[in-house]
Structure 1
Amino acid sequence: MSSIDTNKTKENESVSKVLVTGGAGYIGCHLIRILLERGCKVRVLDSFLFDQHSLDNLKDNPNLEIMVGDIRHMEELASSLEGVSSVIHLAGIVGDPACNLEKQVTLSINYEATRLLVDLCKYNNIKRLVFASTCSVYGARGEEILTEESPISPISLYAETKIRSEEILLKAANENSLEPVIVRFATVYGLSRRMRFDLVLNILTAKAVHEKKIRIYGGVQWRPLIHAKDAAAALMLCLEASGDVVCGEIFNAGSNQENYRIKDLEKIFVKLFPRINIEHVPPMNDERSYNVSFDKITSVLGFTPQETAKRGVKELKDSLLKGNFADYLADKYYNVKYLYK
């Protein structure tokens, strides 16, 4: 993952005890391991809808505290902030299909709980609050190269809740010493202890392994990609950086070299699966397309992702061929299927 100064965390008081909401999730379980490796004391607040399996081998770590709770409940959220110096906010309903199941529930979790968290952070004099957002806030933008200064144009409820949450955080910058930082992730992929197959690169790889064929829907739409491990590393850098550098800032997290048209992913699969059958079909009801610049996070924080889409597909292919995730269509690997239950 991205290079991180191992001495910074020990020297930086703001990261000595960290609350991670949603710490058992797809990115969170990578992040928890980085924090513990850096010697941080970590508290996880998670509702564990997908059980605690992703943190099983960490439960005996004396620097890890696990709290089962709901970020919408003031008492539980307030309790989780006791003695904490910084927060990384990952908890939420992720993805367009899952968010569309129940609009009011999505708003309460993805937006109203964020507002509550910001208020409680200010009340408790929390110094750093890092918020996980998404590049899908840019919407359907064609060939335009998008920076953090580009106009936002959400076309989904998921993106709308992220934008509304971002607005709350930016307004709170420097209130009661709070230093909010926003990280807009590229489309995430790769192995995780809380595995997901409702992500484009992951599901294509699973189908390539098990069905020997994949479908490319449309193909001209742009998607920037980032491995879950690199996403966690980006969060860590935002946590460690000086407040003068990151307070009130937005960072797109990804790599300029990992912006792909969906059809260009075909080259990766042809190379790794020489006998694969690729079917091209009309696009589904997903207009999102965003070609994103990641110059800012590279120049300001020195972020350089260590993984590539090709290596990520190879890694996942090898895992699947070893018999892992044999039932890759199981509900637990798909946010919308599991929540619908």
Structure 2
Amino acid sequence: MRVLVTGHKGYIGTVLVPMLLAQQHEVVGLDSDLFERCTFGEGIEAIPEIRKDIRDVEASDVEGYDVILHLAGLSNDPLGNLNPNLTAEINYRASVRLAQLAKQVGVGRFIFSSSCSNYGAGGEELLNEESAFNPVTPYGESKVGVEKDVSQLADDNFSPTFLRNATAYGVSPRLRFDLVLNNLVAWAFTTGRVYIKSDGTPWRPIVHIEDISRAFIAAMNAPREAVHNEAFNVGRNDDNYRIRELADIVEEVVPGCKVEYAEDGGPDKRCYRVDCSKILRVLPDFKPQWNARRGAEELYAAYQNIGLTLEEFEGEKYKRIAHIQSLLGSGKLDGDLRWKAAVSV
């Protein structure tokens, strides 16, 4: 297939692209590359690309593809909270417009990287794809908005699919520390403390970025009728964990560390468990390979290999919100999170 991956230089995209190439797909990327100074390890596989803000995409940019895998956007709750209006503009309105353009030029398949954040304050109940949306952040609200609007575009010629990823983890060339398992292992490795900022009780489903990538590939390779205008929770039922359970796993994996709770840590209203039975039933090619313990071991080995320091971990390089704030403060980005053309990046 001829595949366009938006956000191909992001945390998930840099892992997904090599997996697509390994299956002999023709892959083109589209990304504004806000995090070009944030590469972890050996770097990123080069592919043909369009360096462009997702808000500026034109019909000619998306013409001629069999499928669009849409990952681009502000990637988490802290970034989403920075400017909720911009979050709506980038994550919601630009995504819907991208789907409209794709439909206009005859792209048959559109697979959207949605989120289990859609469920938000979901509580203790195991939530499936028919459960009510209850987003509690601008990021979650933007994902819900895209699903609702893009689903209305579905017809005989345009087939959207919505992959509601659990909380991601794992090693990537564009590593992030603002993800729970990545963060806990980094605290343990750099300080000897598995530091928990809540009371440890909230539930969180987690999924490795390689398994998220496997879900995208399984969805694009599936028969159209199996995924047409369908949503799928991405993960496994066994990978719903309380935060304190993840901390205990990290304590067992990283030698000499101890779990520590923040003195002011309270319950997090973002608490949800998800039922991932549907994706495993409908997409038999989706075979997740990872669990929390293996993921913690991978992260620990990567941090050892690169000699991760507390300064790097707590610095701007691998924290999306801190890096964006640095680019804004230095004048490299304008207030709309666009590169200033006259400033060297």
**Normalising by structure 1, what TM-score?**
0.89
> What is the alpha-carbon distance in structure 2 between the residues aligned to residue 324 and residue 122 of structure 1?
47
Structure-2 change in CA distance of 1:115 and 1:57 (3 Å)? closer
Q: 1:143 is matched with which residue?
A: 124
Please report how far the alpha carbon of residue 295 of structure 1 lies from its aligned counterpart in structure 2 after TM superposition: 0.2
Does residue 30 (structure 1) correspond to residue 15 (structure 2)? The answer is: yes
* Residues 56-135 of structure 1: pairs in structure 2 closer than 5 A: 56=43, 58-59=45-46, 64-75=47-58, 78-135=59-116
Give the aligned partner of residue 331 of structure 1.
316
| Aligned partner letter, 2:189 | V
SS in structure 1 of the partner of residue 82 of structure 2: coil
Structure 1 runs (4+) deviating above 6 angstroms are none
Q: Cα deviations across residues 36-70 of structure 1 (Å, max 9, x unaligned)?
A: 111111110000001185895532xxxx3111001
TM-aligned CA distance change 1:202 to 1:234, over 3 Å: same
- The alpha-carbon distance between structure 1 residues 73 and 29, as it changes in their structure 2 partners (threshold 3 A), is same
SS of aligned partner of 2:125: strand
- Of residues 290, 293, 297, the one that matches 2:279 is 297
Give unpaired runs (5+ residues) of structure 2. 327-345
Shift, 1:136, TM fit: 1.1
Match 1:313 to one of 293, 296, 318: 296
Partner secondary structure for residue 58 of structure 1: coil
Secondary structure of the 2:174 match is coil
Three-state SS of the structure 2 residue aligned to 1:105 is: helix
Residue 266 of structure 1 is matched in structure 2 by: 247
Asked if residue 280 in structure 1 is aligned to residue 267 in structure 2, the reply is no
Contact 1:101 1:340 in 2 (8 A): no
User: Contact 2:9/2:33 (CA < 8 Å) preserved in 1?
Assistant: yes
SS at match of 2:261: strand
Which secondary structure state, in structure 2, belongs to the residue aligned with residue 332 of structure 1? Answer: coil
User: Which aligned pairs between 1:13-28 and structure 2 lie closer than 5 A?
Assistant: 16-28=1-13
- 1:172 Cα offset (Å): 1.1
Once residues 127 and 46 of structure 1 are traced to their aligned partners in structure 2, the CA distance between those partners, rounded to angstroms, is 21
| 1:74 to partner: Cα distance | 3.9
CA RMSD of aligned residues (A): 1.7
The residue number in structure 1 matching 2:195 is: 215
CA distance in 2, matches of 1:286, 1:22: 29
Where 1:333 maps in the other structure, the secondary structure is: coil
Contact 1:19/1:80 (8 A) holds in 2: no
In the alignment, the residues of structure 1 paired with residue 224 and residue 63 of structure 2 have an alpha-carbon distance, to the nearest angstrom, of 22
Q: Percent identity?
A: 38
Aligned with 2:314: secondary structure? coil
Letter matched to residue 295 of structure 1: S
Q: Deviations over 1:298-336 (max 9, x none)?
A: 111022310111111111111111234432223121111
Partner letter of residue 196 of structure 1? R
User: Partners of 1:256 and 1:323 in 2: how far apart?
Assistant: 33
Mean alpha-carbon deviation: is it higher for 253-262 or for 271-280?
271-280
- Residues 5-51 of structure 1 show CA distances to partners (whole Å, capped at 9, x for unaligned) of xxxxxxxxxxx101000011111111111111111111100000011
Shift of 1:84: 1.3
- Identify the residue that residue 157 of structure 1 maps to in structure 2: 138
Q: Which has the higher contact order (CA 8 A, sep 6+)?
A: 1
8 Å CA contact 1:255–1:304 kept in 2: the answer is no
Q: Specify the SS of the correspondent of 1:181.
A: strand
The aligned counterpart of 2:338 is none
What CA distance in whole angstroms lies between the structure 2 residues aligned with 1:164 and 1:213? 39
Q: How high is the TM-score relative to the length of structure 2?
A: 0.88
Matched pairs, number: 319
